[in-house]
Structure 1
Amino acid sequence: MHSWKKMKKKLTHFFSDHSPSSSSSSPSSTSSDHDQDESSSYMSSMLSFFLPSHESISKKNEEDYILRCGKSKTKQENGDHNTSSSELFEDAIDLQTPRKYIPDQNLDSVFISSELYHFFQSCLPNIVKGCRWVLLYSTVKHGISLRTLIRNSCDLPGPCLLITGDTKGAVFGGLVNSPLTPTPHRKYQGTFQTFVFTTIYGPPTLFRPTGANRYFYMCLNDLLAFGGGGSFALRLDGDLLMGTSGPCDTFGNQRLAHNEEFELKNVELWGFTHSSRYHS
């Protein structure tokens, strides 16, 4: 602002010094001073016309800014804009909020759908939630053998999830709290973390121990069974071809398969590891 005034002052003096009134002789000093003042005023007015002051420019810019804001506001009120403020706000949230990573969405499984995967995430013990799923055994990959299933269950510590199904489309199984250890005689193992489940009744249904007994699961070299008291909730034979299912006191469950005796479609055993969930 000061530099602008200084330049204006210099230009005024320059034109005043070179004006006709200053170069011509005058009869008296009073007349000369008067003419010089008029000349200075005239030149100042001309300079103001061609070179507006800083104040006038600032004022004009402020008026233009208010005018633009008013037009923009009017457009928003009349609905002439393409993107609403709420949409801009939602876009900003989407950009700033990190996407939640869900591990193991592409599990190499015959049975696990997206619905069943999320069901397991809600009912698995906290110790394995968020862990990476590892396929320990599958009849498709490892052949038909309960002994192989038992041996492969020891590849990882912690709980194991057995998933199987019948040829009519039902998917069912159960959770054991540790790698399988066969016993020479019929002896029940497990804890209250053990459960069985089925999809035969629509959405996946979970059956946890009722507390009626402690017959959680039994593992022999030629038999794997869940529950007891009345019948087994689920029993698989040694060659993993046939199975049975019925109501039992341990889990208070209904039959898990379509029929009491059924042919197994496939058998999978899943373990869980705390290694990086981004591990490929």
Structure 2
Amino acid sequence: LPQLGPHLPSRLTQQPWCLQYSTRRDGFSLRTLYRRGGQPGSPALLLIRDTEAQAFGAFSSSAIRCSSGFYGSGETFLFSFSQELKMEPVFRWTGRNDFFVKGDVDLLMVGGG
């Protein structure tokens, strides 16, 4: 998505991306998402379309995985798109805490400050 390019870390703007998980192909399973979530240390881009056709997501500096604690870095951000797929404001790290990403068997959390 070209709208995300200016918000990504500069080292990633020209890198090719690879689809690791798709509900259409892989079903609706967090376990499958974690299993297919990419190499440890590689970044991840989550793009979600909800049941009302709203598009939103997150960039994580680390692969999405099940974890006992939070992981990631200040590069992590949340984003959303309008109905016309125009980029809405990006929500970046506030610096108040290090609650970036946490995966559990029942949930995936992104952003907490």
Q: Which has the higher contact order (CA 8 A, sep 6+)?
A: 2
Q: Which residue of 1 aligns with 2:50?
A: 166
Unmatched segments (≥5 aa) in structure 1? 1-116, 229-249, 251-280
Count of matched residue positions in the alignment of Structure 1 and Structure 2: 111
Find out whether 1:210 has 2:94 as its counterpart. yes
Letter in 1 for 2:79: F
Cα 1:219–1:201 change in 2 (3 A) is: same
8 A Cα contact 2:43 2:62, kept in partner: yes
Find out whether 1:121 has 2:25 as its counterpart. no
Shift of 1:130: 0.8
* CA RMSD, Structure 1 to Structure 2 (Å): 1.9
Q: How does 1:32-47 map to 2 (within 5 A)?
A: none
8 A Cα contact 1:136 1:155, kept in partner: no
Letter in 2 for 1:180: I
Q: Give the distance between the partners of 1:218 and 1:156, measured in 2 at CA.
A: 14
Shift of 1:208: 0.6
Q: How does 1:236-255 map to 2 (within 5 A)?
A: 250=113
Shift of 1:134: 0.7
Q: Which residue of 2 aligns with 1:149?
A: 33
Letter in 2 for 1:193: E
Shift of 1:155: 4.6
Shift of 1:178: 1.4
Q: Give the distance between the partners of 1:200 and 1:214, measured in 2 at CA.
A: 28
Q: Which residue of 2 aligns with 1:177?
A: 61
Q: Which residue of 2 aligns with 1:140?
A: 24
Q: Give secondary structure in 1 for the equivalent of 2:3.
A: helix
Q: Give the distance between the partners of 1:126 and 1:180, measured in 2 at CA.
A: 21
Q: How does 1:1-280 map to 2 (within 5 A)?
A: 117-155=1-39, 157-183=41-67, 185=68, 187-200=69-82, 203-204=86-87, 205-228=89-112, 250=113
Shift of 1:224: 0.5
8 A Cα contact 1:160 1:178, kept in partner: yes
Shift of 1:181: 3.1
Cα 1:211–1:201 change in 2 (3 A) is: farther
Q: Which residue of 2 aligns with 1:27?
A: none
8 A Cα contact 1:160 1:176, kept in partner: yes
Q: Give the distance between the partners of 1:213 and 1:156, measured in 2 at CA.
A: 22
Unmatched segments (≥5 aa) in structure 2? none
Identity, % of aligned pairs?
33
